[in-house]
Amino acid sequence: MSDLKESTTDDYIDTSRELITNFSFDACKLGNQGYSRLLLQLFGFPGNGKSSFINSCIFALGEKKTFENWTKAAKSAGGDTTCRIPYKLTETITMVDNRGMPTLADHETGEIYAQLGNLVRLDEEVEWCDDFQKNLDRLLELNIDSDFGKSDFIVPIFVHSVSSKVPQEEKESYRIMLETARKLTGITPVILLTHKSKGGQRQMCSIFEDLGIAPQKIYATENYTEEDHQKLREKDEQILKILSQILEDVKFVLRSEREATTEKKNRMKFVLKYLSEIKKEEKEMLPSPPSPPNEKKCIFS
Ligand SMILES: Nc1nc2c(ncn2[C@@H]2O[C@H](COP(=O)(O)OP(=O)(O)OP(=O)(O)O)[C@@H](O)[C@H]2O)c(=O)[nH]1
Ligand SMILES: [Mg+2]
């Protein structure tokens, strides 16, 4: 009985590795529709396991036989990845380790949308500040007359540890952030819960369900890490299942017509509009200048 289960799992692992490795937009129902690269864009708070998930995917895919900390996932509390670093998983699939967002503050979420929208170059330090004009100039400079990212299909993946708290007072900001990521990319973000072995997965799932994410879009994993990277069948299976499911969703979306060529332009417009709305709100919140004292005019002069 146990032998049968083992061989079924091994077959599953081999088949899904093959499907993931051979994934190509050309094989989608309506052809590639102008896409040539799938960007799995990881985002989330620092230290929640983004870089470790990429390590886990590389290891589970089995090309590399021994574990290495390819992404430099760190032991510190976070904030270690400061560039958008691409890791080529297969010919078509690239995982992007985006800079962790320190807080949900507005200019920082503006930054994460510029990264998610693929408007900031890969492999370059993410320079962002709270100066609206500088950010705007930087985006325009980078994107006008530039072809980068025009054939990328983006899947946003929000990485969150099961043991990171979601404070009650921040739930609405989470909801808005996930909804904005959906509007920007046209794809509902996948929620990836890490540190699965710590428990509390059920509770964390229901928090994200309450924030509007369908249960089928929420996954949990225990990453391979420097401390614990003993190759396990169940772990490989779990990670490959997540990747396979994401690919199935991409294929489903591409059963309908999409416009790869205009999508980047629309993402640019979306982020510029978002930034100018932040600017407008900031202005409205500034105290209005004191009104000039009433000039007393002599009506007889
Ligand atoms: N036990 C366990 N440890 C994990 C897991 N995922 C990540 N870690 C550990 O958590 C720490 C932070 O993980 P990273 O992958 O560097 O987190 P990150 O989100 O990339 O962080 P920044 O790059 O700083 O934004 C590292 O020490 C990892 O080994 C997990 O699923 N289980
Ligand atoms: Mg990292």
pLDDT at 74: 80
pLDDT at 103: 82
In CATH, what number does 31-284 get? 3.40.50.300
Q: Is 53 helix (H, G, I), strand (E, B) or coil?
A: helix
Backbone angles phi, psi at 39, to 5 degrees: -100, 115
- Burial grade of 221 (CB within 10 A; 0-12, 13-18, 19 or more): buried
Unique residue bearing structure tokens 């949990």: 220
Quote the tokens at residue 71: 């992404």
Residue 91, number of CB atoms within 10 A of its CB: 12
pLDDT at 297: 37
Euclidean distance between CA atoms 247 and 229, whole angstroms: 25
Domain ranges across the chain: 31-284
Per DSSP (E only), the strands in 139-213 are 152-161, 190-194
pLDDT at 35: 96
Ligand nearest to the CA of 163: 1
- Length of the chain as a residue count: 301
pLDDT at 155: 98
pLDDT at 278: 82
pLDDT at 210: 97
Unique residue bearing structure tokens 């609405």: 172
Residue 81 Cα: closest atom of ligand 1: 23
Q: Mean pLDDT per segment of 10 residues, for the chain of length 301 residues?
A: 61 94 96 96 94 97 92 67 85 92 76 91 79 85 84 97 94 94 96 96 97 97 97 96 97 94 91 87 69 43 29
Euclidean distance between CA atoms 198 and 201, whole angstroms: 8
Which residue has a Cα nearest atom 1 of ligand 1?
Answer: 195
Nearest in space to 41 (alpha carbons), one of 118, 142, 109? 118
CB 251 within 8 A of CB 193: no
Euclidean distance between CA atoms 96 and 3, whole angstroms: 38
pLDDT at 296: 40
Ligand nearest to the CA of 69: 1
DSSP state of 120: S
Nearest in space to 57 (alpha carbons), one of 3, 21, 100? 21
pLDDT at 133: 85
CA of 109 to the centre of ligand 2 (A): 17
Ligand nearest to the CA of 77: 1
Question: Which residues sit opposite 107 in a β-bridge?
Answer: none
Quote the tokens at residue 228: 């614990």
CB 215 within 8 A of CB 233: no
Ligand 1 interacting residues, C-beta cut-off 6 A: 46-52, 73-75, 78-81, 100, 194-195, 222-223, 225-226
Question: Which residues sit opposite 152 in a β-bridge?
Answer: 37
pLDDT at 293: 53
Euclidean distance between CA atoms 199 and 163, whole angstroms: 8
Residue 198, number of CB atoms within 10 A of its CB: 12
CA of 156 to the centre of ligand 1 (A): 18
Residue 38, number of CB atoms within 10 A of its CB: 21
Unique residue bearing structure tokens 């920007």: 184
Which residue has a Cα nearest atom 8 of ligand 1?
Answer: 49
256 contact partners, CB below 8 Å, separation of at least 6? 30
pLDDT at 99: 80
Residue of 223, 224, 230, 238 to test ligand 1 pocket, by largest number of atoms within 8 Å of CB = 223
Residue type, 286: L
Which residue has a Cα nearest atom 25 of ligand 1?
Answer: 46
CB 262 within 8 A of CB 149: no
Q: Is 256 helix (H, G, I), strand (E, B) or coil?
A: coil
